[in-house]
Amino acid sequence: MGLDIRLPIGLMFSIFGLLLVIYGAASDTSIYRHSLGINVNIWWGAALLVFGVVMLILGRRGTSAMRSATEGSEGKIIERIEHREGLEQERPRRGH
């Protein structure tokens, strides 16, 4: 599976943040007397929205940068060690 967990998490937080911002902007200001007049819905909605957007950006950037273990330098080193110690297992390759 190629799904990065940051994508659904980012989407969920972005949706909840957007809903809170909209609710905070559309709601009556008298309900914020108990919170010292601070519109907590707008502020927490903005925080959730920023976090969600960051997760979406990182998730998109991470999926485009993914590569197989044998393409990277670390993967090649591990392959050599496994081959030298006899730990290497033949796995069928996809697309070949």
Q: What is the pLDDT of residue 63?
A: 60
pLDDT, tens digit, 9 for 90 and up, residues 15-54 = 999 999 999 899 888 888 888 888 888 999 999 999 999 9
Q: What percent of the chain has pLDDT over 90?
A: 33
CB 71 within 8 A of CB 18: no
CB 21 within 8 A of CB 45: yes
Q: Is the pLDDT of residue 1 over 80?
A: no
Tokens of 55: 């997760």
CA distance 15 to 42: 13
Record the pTM: 0.61
Q: What is the pLDDT of residue 89?
A: 66
